Amino acid sequence: MNTRDKTYSAARMNEAMLSSMQPPTLRWYLLALVLGAVVAVGLYAFTVQLTTGMVVTGINRPVMWGLYIISFVFWVGLSHSGTMVSAILRLSQASWRRPILRGAEAMTVFSIAVAGLFPLIHLGRNWIFYYLIPYPSQYGLWPNFRSPLLFDMVAINTYIIGSGIFLYIGMLPDLALVRDRSTGWRRKIYGLLAIGWRGTAEQWRVFSRGSTLLACLIIPVAVSVHSIVAWDFAVTLVPGWHSTIFAPYFVIGAITSGVAAVITLMIVIRKAFKLEEFLLPLHFDNMSKLLLAVCLLWSYFYFAEVFTTWYGHKPIEWEWFSYMHDHYGLALFIMILGNTIVPIVGLCFRRVRRSTAALLGITLLVNVAMFIERFLIVVPSLSHKNIPFIWGSYTPSWVEMSIALAAFALFFLLYTLFTKFFPILAITDVREQEEALIGQQQLGRARVETLVNEE
Amino acid sequence: MTTEAKDIRWGMVIDLDRCTGCGACVTACQAENNIALTDQQGFAQGRNLQWLRIERYWEGEFPHVRARFLPMLCQHCDDAPCEPVCPVYASYHTAEGLNGQVYNRCVGTRYCANNCPYAVRVFNFTDPSWPEPLEQQLSPDITVRSRGVMEKCSFCIQRIRRGKEEAKLENRGLRDGEVQPACAQTCPPGAISFGNLDDPNSRVARMARSPRRFRLFEDLGTEPSVIYLKGGGHEHPG
């Protein structure tokens, strides 16, 4: 960044970084329309399920959980991006995170919101989902706090609220900036959202303290959320699920898919809003190194899990394992290819780490592989449980597939809307770093003489 | 031989030497408990609603094969894996050792079915239906379950209730063998016995002391209330 001209004005920078918020073009409307249409198809499919029953899904006995739970685990995994990129890198003072963090935090909020829909869609009687909420009822009935599904309910809600606050607080100075640059009713709304941010030294001090504290608090939440999702499986007696390694393994898997998805989104945002001057090869390089590290960890965990199963050769464990091997050989191969072989080999090379085209391919492949991984965790184990008489298989129906697809469309739709209404780059964070070289700061309306440093 | 309600632990003994695999118990169960009928396609897709099934396993190579039958129903485990995982207490344990299911509390997470090692929990994938005139024979004692809820063998809890009520009217405890689930009552060779395991003199308690006794997946620590007596001793090969 220091190659850039020092006289490059702050106003011009704001302009460039707020480019995503310009009035929508026809292309944007078209995109929103297509995404909206896919969501509508998903809604229709859900209506069919709601009015007919779970018979329209591919669920059966013994495979009582299917694509909905797989999607749930996948989206919870994606939601670990923001925490990882924003909170952990903030605490480790990696200043290259700055242009990436907003995009990652927004991704966290939207993917956990999408994830939260799946357990509700998956219920046999969706209309009484509130039985899971501990509310004071006339019957004096409480939900069962021993059930991992209730841990889930609490964890997901905590994470939605926590990551929402994390995103919002981090965005405050930028909202003030948008407020100062907008007019009319927009100014009023952004004014409300900016809750009186003036950019005084005191405000910055509180802001910086608060952000660090939030970063510290959100990390244990994120780790616990995916551990709890893992325990949905690990606490059961189902062969193949009942494994102590599941919680850390799921957390690493979540970070793997989260980091990969952040890179994918960075590439898309950079291209769509022409942010080449802010998202530099350095950022992609560093994120790729992170991805390389978590892919190595994931492979280690997977190997540890599979190796002990294979070596122990307990008949009941071996049954689901060989079933998976025989029936999902291709999927297994794609998973190993996408999570281990391609990223670990590819990301060792600096040229690959700095090439957006190569990275786009690799990161998409990682997430395809992660989706397959979740499928291979849920389905083969359930298909061949303890009782051979009730062995079965599972193929998702069009209803399940439409809803799973609609979830992707919903996520992108929310994301596109977000980029239109909120600054997708953390402007003040980026400028903080930029102007550290110049030694002065123009923030909001106030001029702060002292340098607001990292934490 | 009478027992007081406070020391009841319901249990079942199934003598596999007597089971012929005729399936009368399955039919009786279906009729007794308002279990919806499933068509051929539903069966093929693993969506039948049988609370009780006869599992048939083949032993040996043709022509020296023999069939083994294993009537399989809810084992009413003392330490049931299905109970703690239910987020809404639809699956719960009664004081008499039954594994209860509250239909109108069930939201249909199907977690219990995943965690049941015996795969005896069935899910209502559609609204229940019966071909004419079978809808006329529904029992008024039992709820007709709606779509989206789990169900399973209840050890014919409605018969247990009725038995207890009748005993109470006559101011006495339950007699051994007074309460019988539909499957036990129907079983032509009398392979199924039902009673109070806590009463050491009851038929089931005496049978449960047999050296042929075994329980399914004992290693999982579920402590089932259904005890099987090992069969195969007097069978003719082929």
Most A CBs within 10 A among B43, B45, B57, B114, hence the mutation to make, goes to: B114
Residue of A253, A380, A394 lying closest to A328 (CA atoms): A380
Residue A275: pLDDT band with limits 50, 70, 90: confident
CA distance B214 to B223: 11
Determine, yes or no, domain membership for A391.
Answer: no
Q: How far apart are CA B196 and CA A203, in angstroms?
A: 73
Predicted confidence at residue A383, as pLDDT, reads: 94
Query: Binning pLDDT at 50, 70 and 90, where does residue A4 land?
Result: very low
Question: What digits encode the pLDDT tens for the residues A47-104?
Answer: 999 999 999 999 999 999 999 999 999 999 999 877 777 888 778 777 777 778 888 8
Of the pLDDT bands very low, low, confident and very high (cuts 50, 70, 90), residue A266 is confident
pLDDT in tens, B6-18: 589 999 999 999 9
Residue A33 has pLDDT above 80, yes or no: yes
Q: Which structural domain, as residue segments, surrounds residue A158?
A: 2-18+59-236+247-279+423-453
DSSP code string of B162-225: HHHHHHHHTTSPEETTS---HHHHH-TT--EEEEETTSTTSHHHHHHTSTTEE-TTGGGT---S
| Average pLDDT, integer, range A315-335 | 93
State the pLDDT at residue A445.
61
Chain A residues whose CB is inside 8 A of the B126 CB are 52-53, 55
Q: To the nearest whole number, what is the mean pLDDT of chain A? A: 87
Element housing B56 (H / E): strand B53-59
For residue B163, the distance in angstroms to the closest alpha carbon of chain A comes to: 28
Q: Classify residue A285: in a domain, yes or no.
A: no
Q: What is the rounded distance in angstroms from the CA atom of residue A20 to the CA atom of residue A30?
A: 16
| Position A283 pLDDT exceeds 90 | no
Q: Which residue in this structure is represented by tokens 């409605």?
A: B158
CATH number (3.20.20.70, 3.30.70.20, 2.70.70.10, 3.30.365.10) of B2-229 reads 3.30.70.20
Question: Is A212 within a domain?
Answer: yes
Supply angle C-alpha A154, A378, A297, rounded to 5: 80
Query: Which residues of chain A neighbour B117 with C-beta distances below 8 Å?
Result: 237, 385-387
User: Per-residue pLDDT tens for B104-131?
Assistant: 999 999 999 999 999 999 999 999 989 9
- Facing residue for A389 by CB, picked from B55, B110, B146: B55
Q: What is the pLDDT of residue B6?
A: 57
Q: What is the ipTM score, two decimals?
A: 0.91
- Please tell me the predicted confidence (pLDDT) of residue A44: 97
Least confident of A72-76, A137-141, B2-6: B2-6
Confidence of residue B238 (pLDDT cuts 50, 70, 90): very low
Q: Indicate which CATH number applies to the domain containing A204.
A: 1.20.1630
Q: Report the helix count and the strand count for chain B, using DSSP H and E.
A: 7, 12
**Chain A interface includes B25 (CB < 8 A):** no
Report percent pLDDT > 70 for chain B. Answer: 95
- pLDDT bin (cut points 50, 70, 90) of residue A436 is low
pLDDT score recorded for residue A8: 55
What is the mean predicted confidence (pLDDT) over A226-243? 93
pLDDT at A438 over 50: no
On whether the CB atoms of residues A383 and A394 are closer than 8 A, the answer is: yes
Domains of chain A: total: 1
Instruction: Find the mean pLDDT for residues A281-297.
Output: 92
The pLDDT of residue B5: 45
Q: B222 to chain A: nearest residue by CA?
A: A237
Q: Which two tokens stand for residue A318?
A: 């071996």
C-alpha distances in Å from residue A328, one per residue of A238, A321, A376, A380, B69: 19, 10, 8, 9, 32
Kindly state the percentage of chain A with pLDDT values over 70: 91
Please tell me the predicted confidence (pLDDT) of residue B237: 47
Are the C-beta atoms of B86 and A100 separated by less than 8 Å? no
Cβ B47–A60 below 8 Å, yes or no?
Answer: yes
Which of 58-87 (B) contact A at CB < 8 A? 70, 72, 81, 84-87
Residue A202 resides in a domain: yes
Span B157-189, pLDDT tens digits:
999 999 999 999 999 989 999 999 999 999 999
* Interval A256-277 mean pLDDT: 88
Give the best residue of A49, A52, A55 to mutate against chain B (max B CB count within 10 A).
Answer: A55
- A435: confidence class by pLDDT, cuts 50, 70, 90: low
A358 backbone dihedrals φ, ψ, rounded to 5°: -65, -40
Contacts of B145 in chain A (CB under 8 A): none
